[in-house]
């Protein structure tokens, strides 16, 4: 591939390189091809330290590859840093004495101190250096590497979680290269001197994410850092206890500029703390995106956050995106909130909804009815549909005529066929993507799957449909006995149809199937359906994807 790239204009090469950020084998071959490709792709490799950690240090089994990157970091250190390490009797053998070809640190836009720590600890372990477990000496190395990066003007994103990684031994005298920082990810335990130095340099951070640790409020220096920002558009607050963000609210309330400019507010909290304040959100009238994440390890149908009672009546005239990835607030509060704010929403994610088996009521159906009544301009929607609420999907499709994407958390796998039928008959003309969570291809009768594709093909406005099915292994194991019975019924029906239609050839191929074997039935239906899918993919009617997850959190990410 590298040889083919050399024939393209340089503008095309830069454009292509943007799509290969995580394709390390291709990047590596381009680095070795010639000087031009090397100069282009080395910038992509070094742009984000997190990518290097994820790809090289978490997935690569080659210690030489991991060590070569560490050696390059050490070689790039300024002489002052190398002398400082030498004076502290830190001697790191490197594979080459040559000077680096590039100032690699100048290419870095995304820096993570935990990422640098992973690189240093992993490399010293490979080298079997005796002080690899000597924390102060390790932090001297980390400190010098981080100092090298923060002196570069290219830095845009910085991550510093101190409580989790205990970086109290780090010291940063100044941040000349962080003047253009646009994103900061940190916790409330940041050293005061760090916050003070950063507040002297950075006044145009656009996005700040703060993790509030147990019994640890934001320091005065951190609050000052927030207060001094002139262009803060996005704020994320994550709390582990009741006090959490309480003492940061006055700082936000005093800053009229933040109240007017802030457009994204993401709030994450443990649902055990129902008294945590939320009504302060009404200060930010220009919010365009809000996340309310109430996570509970128990099986509550919803979370009764008391402050949401006040928030339900607040109008946010510019709100376009509302995401509630886990439990909902009290249903009547959320319904009122949607009644007031639903008309402006174009994306709504209420992915957990209200679980019917846990609470025998129509609360989830009423919530979906509110979506159909008040959220008429949606183009993306994630909801829960319980097994006796499936007709509500028709109402949503009929009301939300701009809908292009929907992801449905199915209470039961057997709902998939009915959902497909409703999508074919009621989805809006521009609808083009359906994702079914807790669904499997082998839980759909091949006859019904093909019927859906034929219906889609015959629509007046035919758009390529992306169909995504996501199954959860934990749920599958729990319901294995029921699933097996369901599979057997489908297989039995297919074979009976062959007999009835006197299709002897197919019957001979199918009669070997063991009805009592769970895997046999599953594989049989799966392969039948895959043949149908390949047929309609080749016709340009659909695009199919399937995915298996083991815990729901992995699939709750949006977009």
Whether 52 and 143 share a structural domain: yes
Does a structural domain hold residue 58? yes
Residues 99 and 127 in one domain: yes
Query: CA dist 259 to 207, 208, 275, 318, Å?
Result: 14, 15, 23, 14
Please state whether beta strands 264-270 and 289-295 pair in parallel, antiparallel, or not at all (unpaired): parallel
How would you class 531 by CB atoms within 10 Å of its CB: exposed for 0-12, middle for 13-18, buried for 19 or more? exposed
162 within domain boundaries: no
Question: How is residue 304 written in tokens?
Answer: 């009764």
Show Cβ contacts of residue 101 under 8 Å, excluding neighbours closer than 6 positions. 38
Nearest to 170 by CA among 189, 191, 156, 150: 191
Tokens encoding 559: 């977009």
pLDDT at residue 511 greater than cutoff 60: no
pLDDT class for 273, splitting at 50, 70, 90? Answer: low
Last residue of a domain, one of 93, 125, 152: 152
Return the pLDDT at 330: 83
Using the predicted structure, report yes or no on whether residue 480 has a pLDDT greater than 50.
no
C-beta of residue 456 within 8 angstroms of C-beta of residue 433:
no
Q: Which of 28-37, 52-61, 206-215, 520-529 has the lowest mean pLDDT?
A: 52-61
Query: Are 40 and 134 members of one domain?
Result: no
Which has more pLDDT, 461 or 513?
Answer: 461
Beta bridge partners of 384: 409
Find tokens 């019975």 and name the residue.
Answer: 485
Q: Flag the least confident range among 29-38, 173-182, 206-215, 298-307.
A: 298-307
pLDDT at position 377:
97
Give the closest residue to 524 by CA, choosing from 482, 481, 487.
487
Are 65 and 27 within one domain?
no
Q: Any residues with CB less than 8 A from the CB of 19 and at least 6 apart, and which?
A: none
**Per-residue model confidence as pLDDT tens digits over 541-556:** 999 998 887 655 434 4
Which two three-digit tokens encode residue 159?
A: 């991550």
Position 497 scores a pLDDT of 58
Under DSSP, the state recorded for 303 is B
Q: What is the pLDDT of residue 479?
A: 47
Q: What is the pLDDT of residue 1?
A: 57
Same domain, yes or no: 101 and 31:
no
Domain shared by 62 and 137, yes or no: yes
Backbone angles phi, psi at 26, to 5 degrees: -65, -45
Residue 464 near residue 540, CB atoms below 8 Å: yes
Query: In this structure, what are the phi and psi dihedrals at residue 48, rounded to the nearest 5 degrees?
Result: -130, 110
For residues 460 and 464, the model is more confident at: 464
**Are 37 and 56 members of one domain?**
no
Which alpha helices (DSSP H) does 77-214 contain, by range? 79-87, 113-127, 135-150, 162-165, 192-201
Structural domain ending residue among the three candidates 152, 168, 200: 152
Last residue of a domain, one of 102, 134, 152: 152
105 and 69 in a common domain: yes
Q: Sorting pLDDT into bands at 50, 70 and 90, what band is 508?
A: very low
Contacts of 526 (CB under 8 A, 6+ apart): 441, 442
Q: Which of 380, 381, 443 is nearest to 412 (CA)?
A: 443
pLDDT of residue 359: 46
CB 86 within 8 A of CB 136: no
Q: Residue 167 — very low, low, confident or very high, per pLDDT cuts 50/70/90?
A: low
Q: Is 411 exposed, middle or buried (0-12, 13-18, 19+ CB in 10 A)?
A: buried
Question: Among the listed ranges 213-217, 335-339, 363-367, 486-490, which one has the minimum average pLDDT value?
Answer: 486-490
Q: Give CA–CA dist 484/517, Å, rounded.
A: 8
Tokens of 106: 């100048």
Q: Could you report how far apart the first and last alpha carbons of the chain are, in Å?
A: 30
Does residue 241 lie in a domain region? no
**Whether residues 32 and 54 fall in one domain:** no
Domain containing residue 140: 47-152
User: What is residue 135's predicted lDDT score, i.e. its pLDDT?
Assistant: 57
What is the band of 504 on the pLDDT scale with cuts at 50, 70, 90? Answer: very low
Q: In whole angstroms, give the CA distance from residue 511 to residue 528.
A: 15
The neighbouring-strand residues paired with 185 are 159, 209
Domain shared by 145 and 65, yes or no: yes
If we measure between CA atoms, which residue out of 386, 382, 555, 549 comes closest to residue 477? 549
The pLDDT-based confidence of 502 (bands split at 50, 70, 90) is very low
Residue 468 lies in a domain: no
Q: What is the pLDDT of residue 489?
A: 60
For residue 346, is it within any domain?
Answer: no
Q: How many domains does the chain have?
A: 2
The confidence band for 431, taking pLDDT boundaries of 50, 70 and 90, is very high
The residue ranking higher by pLDDT, 509 or 376, is: 376
Averaged pLDDT of the chain? 80
Report percent pLDDT > 90 for the chain. 28
pTM (predicted TM-score): 0.84
Q: Which of 345, 387, 393 is nearest to 372 (CA)?
A: 393
Angle between helices 446-457 and 416-426 (to 10 degrees): 10
| Per-residue pLDDT at 149 exceeds 80 | yes
Summarize pLDDT for 187-237 with one digit per residue, the tens: 888 888 888 888 888 899 999 999 887 666 788 888 899 999 999 999 999
- Please indicate, yes or no, whether residues 54 and 94 belong to a single structural domain of this protein: yes
Give the pLDDT band of residue 478 (cuts 50, 70, 90): very low
Is residue 487's pLDDT more than 70? Answer: no
DSSP of 169-191, one letter per residue?
T---S--GGGTT--EEEEETT--
Band of residue 315 on the pLDDT scale cut at 50, 70, 90: very high
CB proximity list for 34: less than 8 A, separation 6 or greater: 6
Under the banding of pLDDT at 50, 70 and 90, the label for residue 97 is low
Rounded-to-integer distance, Cα 532 and Cα 513, Å = 20
406 Cβ contact list (under 8 Å, min separation 6): 380, 381, 382, 383, 396, 431, 433, 434, 435
Top mean-pLDDT range of 228-237, 269-278, 361-370, 549-558: 228-237
Q: Is residue 14 part of a domain?
A: yes
Check whether residue 39 and residue 53 sit in a common domain: no
């Amino acid at each position: 591939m590298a040889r083919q790239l050399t024939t393209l204009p340089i503008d095309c090469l830069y454009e292509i390189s943007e799509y290969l950020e995580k394709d390390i084998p291709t990047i590596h071959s381009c680095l070795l091809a010639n000087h031009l490709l090397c100069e282009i792709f080395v910038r992509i490799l070094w742009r984000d330290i997190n990518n290097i950690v994820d790809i090289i240090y978490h997935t690569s089994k080659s210690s030489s590859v991991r060590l070569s990157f560490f050696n390059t970091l050490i070689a790039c250190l300024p002489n002052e840093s190398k002398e400082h390490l030498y004076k502290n009797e830190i001697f790191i053998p490197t594979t080459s004495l040559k000077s680096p070809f590039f100032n690699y640190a100048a290419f870095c836009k995304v820096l993570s101190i935990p990422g640098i720590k992973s690189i240093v600890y992993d490399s010293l372990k490979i080298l079997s250096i005796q002080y690899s477990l000597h924390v102060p000496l390790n932090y001297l190395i980390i400190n010098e590497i981080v100092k090298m990066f923060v002196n570069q003007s290219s830095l845009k994103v910085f991550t510093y979680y101190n409580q989790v990684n205990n970086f109290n031994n780090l010291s940063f005298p100044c941040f000349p290269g962080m003047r253009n920082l646009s994103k900061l990810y940190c916790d409330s335990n940041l050293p005061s001197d760090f916050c003070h130095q950063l507040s002297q340099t950075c006044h145009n951070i656009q996005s700040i994410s703060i993790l509030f640790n147990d019994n640890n409020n934001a320091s005065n220096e951190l609050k000052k850092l927030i207060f001094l920002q002139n262009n803060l558009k996005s704020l994320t607050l994550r709390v582990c206890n009741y006090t959490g963000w309480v003492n940061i609210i006055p700082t936000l309330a005093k800053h009229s500029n933040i109240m007017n400019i802030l457009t994204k507010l993401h709030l994450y909290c443990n649902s055990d703390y129902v008294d945590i304040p939320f009504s302060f959100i009404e200060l930010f009238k220009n919010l365009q995106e809000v996340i309310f994440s109430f996570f509970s390890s128990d099986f509550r149908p919803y979370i009764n956050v008391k402050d949401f009672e006040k928030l339900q009546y607040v109008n946010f005239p510019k709100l376009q995106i509302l995401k509630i990835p886990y439990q909902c607030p009290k249903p009547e509060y959320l319904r009122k909130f949607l009644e007031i704010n639903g008309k402006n929403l174009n994306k709504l994610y209420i992915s957990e909804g209200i679980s019917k088996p846990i609470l025998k009521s129509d609360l989830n159906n009423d919530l979906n009815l509110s979506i159909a009544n008040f959220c008429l301009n949606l183009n993306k929607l994630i909801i829960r549909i319980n097994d006796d609420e499936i007709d509500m999907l028709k109402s949503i499709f009929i009301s939300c005529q701009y809908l292009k994407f929907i992801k449905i958390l199915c209470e039961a796998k057997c709902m998939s066929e009915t959902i497909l039928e409703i999508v074919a008959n009621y989805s809006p003309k521009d609808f083009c993507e359906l994702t079914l969570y807790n669904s499997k291809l082998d839980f759909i009768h091949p006859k019904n799957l093909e019927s859906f594709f034929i219906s889609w093909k015959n629509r007046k406005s035919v758009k390529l449909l992306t169909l995504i099915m996501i199954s959860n292994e934990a749920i599958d194991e729990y319901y294995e006995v029921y699933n097996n019975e369901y599979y057997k019924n489908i297989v039995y029906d297919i074979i009976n149809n062959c007999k009835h239609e006197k299709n002897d050839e197919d019957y001979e191929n199918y009669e070997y199937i063991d009805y009592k074997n769970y895997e046999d039935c599953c594989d049989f239906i799966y392969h039948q359906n895959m043949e149908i899918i390949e047929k309609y993919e080749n016709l340009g009617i659909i695009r199919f994807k399937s995915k298996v997850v083991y815990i729901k959190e992995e699939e709750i990410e949006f977009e």
